[in-house]
Amino acid sequence: MSRYRFLDSKGEHLHTLDGKPLIGTSTALKVLAKPLTWWASGLAVAELGWLNAKLHAPEARLENVKKHLEKIKAMEPEEFVKLLDTAYAAHSKTLGKAAKDGTDMHAELEKYVRWCIAEFNGAPEPYSQGNHVAVEIFATWAAEHVSRFIASEVHCYSEELWTGGIVDLVFEDKEGRTAIMDFKSAKDAYQEHFFQCAGYDIEISENGVLDADGNELFRLEQPISYYAVFPFGKSNPEPMLNFDTESCKKAFRAAVELHKIINQ
């Protein structure tokens, strides 16, 4: 019986080892502060009439505030409380939509990569399975930079760190180097994204590449040379690369330890 198993039949999204839950690779990194404070506060005050000064003229900003202020003046206290509650939760609503969009994007990218692996031994082929913009962008980039896709949406874990995860993509570039890539719907690649790739690197190095039931699919023929993050929310997106794999691994290990201390 396989020691590792991934449970998701009831939406658990749970990595386990010998029946005990592992820490998710991305979950461990939640101890790090997200660079989204200004974004979240902007969504909140927008409900009260605020417009971003970088995107709107001063006259338009004042006019919008006046309209909202008139509405607020006419509100009963109960109505104003509801408006404040809406402002407070504005970021959560947007994150929920972004999460769904990100899930759909991942599914389409996985479908394309698996098709290339199954039909063309991993060689990137022109995208002909639909009209998803992110996949079109990725396929165009891959044709120029990727020699072959090695694996998509595969599982890995570390007993030493007690973590488990699912890797978006492992590929070999046209210089013969092996890399881990993570797909993001974010507008930029952040440090924690590379630390997440480092976690996968540690897990794959320790126990190989697995399926959801813990069966070993293969071991990598050579070490991971670098990590790539593809931020599809960015204008004219292209992967950001990080070759300092050892520092990223140290950062991931530190985040895991901090997560354990906070949640013990």
Tell me, what's the pLDDT at 99?
A: 47
Ranges 53-62, 138-147, 152-161: which has the least confidence? 53-62
Tell me, what's the pLDDT at 98?
A: 47
Place 95 in a pLDDT band, splitting at 50, 70 and 90. Answer: low
Tell me, what's the pLDDT at 27?
A: 96
Distance CA 216, CA 231 (A): 30
**In the predicted model, what is the mean pLDDT of the chain?**
91
Distance CA 188, CA 184 (A): 8
Tell me, what's the pLDDT at 90?
A: 79
Tell me, what's the pLDDT at 94?
A: 58
**Domain 17-34+101-263 fold:** Lambda Exonuclease; Chain A (3.90.320)
- Identify the CA nearest to 64 among candidates 54, 80, 49: 49
Tell me, what's the pLDDT at 92?
A: 73
Place 130 in a pLDDT band, splitting at 50, 70 and 90. Answer: confident
Sheet holding 4-7, edge to edge: 4-7, 14-17, 20-21
- Identify the CA nearest to 18 among candidates 38, 3, 33: 3
Q: What are the structural domain ranges in the chain?
A: 17-34+101-263, 47-88
For tokens 């895991």, what's the residue? 256
Say whether 207 sits in a helix, a strand or coil.
helix
pTM of the model: 0.80
Q: 90-120 and 37-46 are packed helices; what angle lies between their axes, rounded to 10 degrees?
A: 130
Single-letter code of the amino acid located at 140 = T
Rounded to an integer, the average pLDDT of 161-173 is 98
Compute how many other C-beta atoms are within 10 angstroms of the C-beta atom of residue 92: 10
Compute how many other C-beta atoms are within 10 angstroms of the C-beta atom of residue 24: 19
Tell which wins on pLDDT, 204 or 12: 204
Distance CA 122, CA 204 (A): 19
Say whether 179 sits in a helix, a strand or coil.
strand
Rounded to an integer, the average pLDDT of 73-97 is 81
Helix (H) or strand (E) holding 146: strand 146-158
The conformational region for residue 238 under phi > 0 = left, psi -120 to 50 = alpha, else beta, is beta
- Identify the CA nearest to 166 among candidates 187, 182, 142: 182
Distances (CA, A) of 245 to 151, 194, 200, 204, 209: 20, 9, 11, 14, 19
How does pLDDT run across 52-82, given as a tens digit for each residue? 887 788 998 999 999 999 999 999 989 999 9
